[in-house]
Amino acid sequence: MTAGRLLVVAALRVEQAALTGIGRDTVLERCGMGARRVRQWLPRLDRLTPGAVAVAGLAGGVDPALRPGDVVVATEVQDVAGRIPLPAGAPLVAELRRRGLPVHHGPIVTTDRIVRDRQQRAELAGAGAIAVDMESAAVVRALVRRSESPPVAVVRVVVDPVDRPLTDLRTIPAGARALRTLHRIGPALRAWADLAAPRRVVLAAPRSFCAGVERAIEIVEAALRRYPHPVYVRRQIVHNAHVVADLERRGVVFVDELDEIPDGNTVVFSAHGVAPWVRDQAARRDLNVIDATCPLVAKVHTEARRFVSRGKQVLLVGHAGHDEVEGTLGQAPGRITLVQDPSEADTIAVPDDEQVAFVLQTTLGLDEAAATVGALRRRFPLIDSSATDDICYATTNRQRAVAAIVPDCDVLLVIGSANSSNSRRLVEVAEGLGIPAHLIDDAAQVQPAWVAGAVSVGITAGASAPAQLVDELLDTFRAFGALTVEERVVTTEDLTFALPKGVAG
C-alpha cells in the first residue's frame, strides 16, 4: 500500500473525463461498464498498490428521494454474493457536504444489467439499497480480498431517478448535470484519501448512555410493546438524532405539544421532564401518560418546589430554551428565575436578598456552573441550595473522563447531537483545556481536515449517544490504517433506575 496515493476507478470514458484534475498523487483507471468488463480489468488492479481507492461515477436512483445530481456515498455495496460494508466512506460524506453538495449515505447495489424497470428498482429499495450501479461491488470485492486492504469508498452521482426512465429525454440534461457534479467531487476525494495513516485513539470512559437515558429508551420500547401504535412522545425522548430516528421507524410519533395528540392515546414524557401544566393538560385530554423524566431531574424539581414552599425565590442556573430548563421553570412559574452566567448572577433582581435559593440544570459544565454559583454566593451570602450537587453523576463523570484524556490527544471527537447539552459541554471541556474538539452525530460528520494530521484522536460520547456509534467510528478509523485503541477509565458506573408504572413489570 502506498500511503497518500489515490486510485480512482470509473467505468466510462465520460466519467473518467469528469474526474480529471483531482490533484497530486492520483491515478485514474477505467474498469469498463458491467461485471464482465470489470473482470477483464481486475488483473490491472492486482498490479496497483494504492493508498486509498474510490470507485466513482454515475448511478441510478433507487430511493425515491434521490434526484438527478444527488451524490451517494455507499455505506456498503451489495450484489448477489452478499454485502460488503464500507466504513471508510463516512468522512467523504462530511467533506462533500462541506463543499455544498447534496449527499446521501446508504447502501449501493451492483446489478449485472441496467435496471430500467420501476418495479425492479422498488425491489432493490426493499432490500435496503438507495442507488444502483453495475461495477462497484466487483471492484470492492477484489480489494477486500487483499491481505492488506486499502481504504475504499464508492461515490456515485444520480442520473436517472426512480420516476424517470433512462429513455426519458430529460435524462440528457440530467446526465450533463451529474457529470458536472462528478467533476466537483474530485478535490473531496483527495482530502479523504489523505486520512490513510496509522493512528492512535484514546477512548474516554465513562461515555455514552447514562442510567436516565437507558431508562427513557426502555420505557418507550416497553410502551411500543404494550400499547396500540402509534405511541406518542412529547419532545425528543433524549437529545439524540439516531435514537429518535430509530424509534420513529418502530412506531413512535414525536410531538412538540400534547394538542397534537388525539384524545385517549398513550404519551411518554421525555427524560428532560415537564412542567405541572403539561401533566394537567394530559389529564384533561384523558391521555395515558407514562413519565420517562429522569429521577435526577425529578429530584431537582422537588428541590425547587420545596424552596418555593419555604418562601424563597429560586434561581435556576441553566441554559435558556433547553427542555429540562423549561420543565424546571414550570414547577413554580414566577417563583423560579433563570440565571445563565456570572454576569446575570451579578445583576438579577429578587424580592428579598435573604430569601433566595439556587438549583442547577443537571447537564451543566462543572466549571461554568462553579463560576455562576460563585457569583450567586457573593451576591447573596445567605443563598440556600441542596445538600447534594444537582449536576448529575453522568455529566460529571463524562467531563472528568474528557479532562483525563485531553493531555494525550491532538483532537477530540464527541459523539452527540447538537441539541444535547451534556455533549456540548464535553466539547467545551476539551477546548477549555486547549485542544480542538468537534461534536458529531456519527462518523459521516468527521471532516477529514480535523483528523488528517492528528496522531492521537480522543473519542467520547455524550450521555444520550448510543455506544454503537463509537464502535462505528472506530471501524471507520480502522479502515484507514493500523489503529491502536486505548481506553482511559476514570470511574465505573452501575446506577440503574426502576421503570415507572404503566410499563413496569
Give residues in contact with ligand SF4 (CB under 6 A): 210-213, 271, 294, 296-297, 362-363, 392, 394-395, 422, 463
Residue nearest to ligand SF4 (CB): 212
* Residue 57 falls in which region: left (phi positive, over 0), alpha (psi -120 to 50) or beta: left
Q: Which of 226, 238, 220 is nearest to 291 (CA)?
A: 220
The answer to whether the beta carbons of residues 462 and 423 sit under 8 Å apart is: yes
Task: Provide the grid cell at 52.
Answer: 486509498
Q: Closest distance between ligand SF4 and the C-beta of residue 189, in Å?
A: 40
User: 258 or 394, CB closer to ligand SF4?
Assistant: 394
Sign of CA dihedral 142, 148, 150, 153: positive
| Shortest separation between residue 402's beta carbon and ligand SF4, angstroms | 15
- In the complex, the smallest distance separating the C-beta of residue 405 from ligand SF4, rounded to whole angstroms, is 20
Read off φ and ψ for residue 337, nearest 5 degrees.
Answer: -120, 140
List, by residue number, the catalytic residues.
324
What type of residue is 378? R
From 192, 214, 224, 329, select the one nearest 273 (Cα to Cα): 329
| Closer of 313 and 395 to ligand SF4 (Cβ) | 395
- Smaller CB distance to ligand SF4: residue 266 or 362? 362
Pairing status of strand 266-269 against strand 288-291: parallel
8 Å CB contact between 276 and 268: no
- 325 vs 409, beta carbon nearer ligand SF4: 325
| Residue 58 or 296 with smaller CB distance to ligand SF4 | 296
3-class DSSP state of 397: helix
> Can you tell me the distance from the alpha carbon of 228 to that of 429, in angstroms, rounded to the nearest whole number?
43
Q: Which is nearer to ligand SF4, 178 or 238 (by Cβ)? A: 238
Residue 303 near residue 359, CB atoms below 8 Å:
yes
Between strands 131-133 and 52-61, the pairing is antiparallel
The nearest distance, CB 422 to ligand SF4, in angstroms, is 5
Q: Considering the complex, what minimum distance in angstroms separates the CB of residue 391 from ligand SF4?
A: 8
Q: Cell numbers at residue 334, please?
A: 414566577
Closest approach, Cβ 299 to ligand SF4, in A, equals: 9
Nearest to 292 by CA among 246, 252, 249, 262: 252
